[in-house]
Amino acid sequence: MQNMRILQLHCDYIEFSPVKKEIKSAEEIDPKPQHLDEVVVAFVAVEDGDNSEVAKKAMFEISESMKKVGCKKLLLYPYAHLSSKLASPSTALSLLREMEAKADGLEVHRAPFGWTKSYKVQVKGHPLAENSKTITAGEEKEATSEALKAESKIQSFWYIMTTDGKMHDVGSFNFAKHANLEVLAKYEAAKKRSVDEPPPHVKLMKKLAIADYEPASDAGNMRFFPNGRLIKSLIERYVTEKVVDYGGFEVETPIMYDSHHPSMESYFNRFPARQYNVNSEGKHLFLRFAACFGQFLMAKDFQMSYRNLPLRLYELTRYSFRREQSGELVGLRRLRAFTMPDCHAMCKDMEQAKEEFRKRFDLSREVITGLGLDESDFEMAIRFTEEFYNGNKPLIEELVSKIGKPVLVEMWKERFFYFVLKWEFNYIDNLGKASALSTDQIDVENGKRYNIEFIDESNRPQNPIILHNSPSGAVERVIYALLEKAAKDQKEGRKPGLPLWLAPTQVRVIPVKPEFLAHCEKIAEKLTESDVRADIDDKNESVGKSIRDAETEWIRYIIVIGEKEANASKISIRDRKTGGVRELSVDELIGEIKTETKGKPFIKMNMSRYISKRPQIMV
């Protein structure tokens, strides 16, 4: 293993003067003192075995971090003391010279090699001023560095597209009526992402006994309590029903794959990912981060004609895994194990792909609003290559016009990723963080990579164009968005809540005294028979306390049963939405609930009907 070591300091100034030659092969220079202001100093130790690849990568990393601190002046300072297994002086000097030559766009200085030098620095006091790097070559990192090099070539141009199809410069666009879009634009284009408090949904997910961290697992692998499991099941079922209505065929594929399978190898070389690795019986397996792998490998083995296309394969992956960096994992926003509905459509040509793309755009909008998020809750971003845009303006303009508000545009000069067009809906949370929910892509590369073939009209084998759509985004992230939305309501003085069809308890029945429990039981049973989730507070606390408990659990309907109700057909129903009490019959209440949850799946209550029987999960 070879590791070039670099200590990088952003300095107000540095002064150094060569004192005497330390080694015979020291550079011949004029040993006069030098002074540089506003400079990044990189102390570099070249280790035995470092090569040009390492030098190139080191220079790339240095210039990336210099961009961040906004400094263009660099001093490369040979500094042996960072390593105990130094390269030979001749190698070290030649690599340093290579680094000097590779520093495009930077003003580079280099302290002389092989001299004892005295120096004086004043280091700046900001968080990114000091930083150390170890640059590693070696096989596994090779792929990463290839991809990184390629990625550094991508040039993005950011615009705002208005509903009339006009492109506006991000910098001069008037965001006055589009505050969230401005947040997204800053987030994406300017990479401004600093906040200083935890997002509010973290407390809510615990308080409502939905989910919590599991310390015994890896970070980002959550436990879901009965309430959370119920909510997830409902969302999963809803999304699946919608995709099946659209024409998707549900399949199931393995969660782990051989990294050395040729298709995987080629994919990883281009798109290095952070994945979990599992070694078993000499096989190097990785856990899937999307359903692509399984579905592509499956489609490859289908015998297909153009008459079978578009072919829509759908899987609800529980789970997909991505080994996100630990610091990035927060609550339900980003996880390492997540549930992802993933629907691919194999299309015979670009015309068919575009037609299909439109359908899925409508499907995604329907799903996301059906889940309880309004179009005002998210902002759309659309990304494409310049070439695709020039050839397909009407399609892009149609999507933007459908969404009815301005959209963030990222345009690439040339295609780097496997797709030519991609859009996503981004939820903007209370701290101004953007997270992608629904997304769709037009993939022009993986059909070939995975040898997926169909026979066209002229009896020739072709690779399909593949669309990658998640109509809702990760299910956990949908819950995150719903909770953040509720937190926002709370912050702005409205009562927070979940959509009625997702509420773990839809109706709570409270007896005034224990002697009315039997009557409560009758009502709860009737509600249950009509597919309404109802439970009974049999704890024999004061009515006030029981109502308070129900309110803090965000239960929409509260029925109090006393003397009056026991002898009448109408019952007192407290509706959390209004805070008022109404007199309704049980049938009328059922009717109201059915109307509000129309078109949504139903699952029976996932806890004991009697709350005295329930373990206390979260206080």
Partner RNA sequence: GCCUCGAUAGCUCAGCCCGGUAGAGCGAACGCCUCGUAAGCGUUAGGUCGCGGGAUCAAAUCCCGCUCGAGGCUCCA
Residue 53 C-beta: closest distance to RNA, Å: 20
When the beta carbons of 120 and 545 are compared against RNA, the nearer one is: 545
Q: Which is nearer to RNA, 366 or 551 (CB)?
A: 551
User: Closest CB to RNA among 86 and 147?
Assistant: 147
Q: Rounded to the nearest whole angstrom, what is the least distance from the CB of residue 494 to RNA in the complex?
A: 11
Minimum distance from residue 130 beta carbon to RNA (Å):
8
Q: Which is nearer to RNA, 88 or 156 (CB)?
A: 156
Specify the pairing of strand 211-213 against strand 461-462: unpaired
Residue closer to RNA by CB (options 455, 617) is 617
Q: How far is the CB of 275 from RNA (least distance, A)?
A: 7
Contact 325, 358 (CB under 8 A): no
- The H-assigned helical ranges of 392-467 are 393-403, 446-449
Strands (E), 348-449: 378-385, 407-412, 419-428, 434-443
Q: How far is the CB of 172 from RNA (least distance, A)?
A: 24
Rounded-to-integer distance, Cα 16 and Cα 463, Å: 62
Q: How far is the CB of 361 from RNA (least distance, A)?
A: 18
Of 1, 101, 97, 102, the residue nearest 48 (C-alpha): 1
Q: Which is nearer to RNA, 36 or 185 (CB)?
A: 185
Question: Where does residue 421 rank: exposed (0-12), middle (13-18), buried (19+ CB within 10 A)?
Answer: buried
Q: Which amino acid is located at 168 in the chain?
A: H
Nearer to RNA by C-beta: 367 or 561? 561
Number of residues written out for the chain: 619
Smallest separation, CB 580 to RNA (Å): 8
CA distance 392 to 396: 7
Of the pair 29, 195, the CB lying nearest RNA is at: 195
Q: Which helix (H) or strand (E) holds 589?
A: helix 586-596
Distances (CA, A) of 604 to 224, 226, 227, 510, 527: 17, 11, 11, 20, 11
* Token pair recorded at residue 33: 């003192």
Residues engaged in binding RNA (CB under 7 A): 64, 68, 127-128, 131, 151, 191, 193-199, 202, 213, 215, 219, 267, 271, 273, 289-290, 322, 324-331, 334, 417-419, 422, 431, 433, 495, 512-514, 539-545, 547-548, 551-552, 558, 560-565, 572, 574, 581, 616, 618-619
**Smallest separation, CB 518 to RNA (Å):** 14
- Name residues whose C-beta falls within 8 Å of residue 474's C-beta, 6 or more positions apart in sequence: 320, 335, 338, 339, 340
CA nearest neighbour of 39 among 69, 6, 72: 72
Q: Which is nearer to RNA, 246 or 516 (CB)?
A: 516
Look at residue 536 and give its three-state secondary structure: strand
**Shortest Cβ 514–RNA spacing (Å):** 6
Which of 165, 593, 200 shows the shortest CA–CA distance to 402? 165
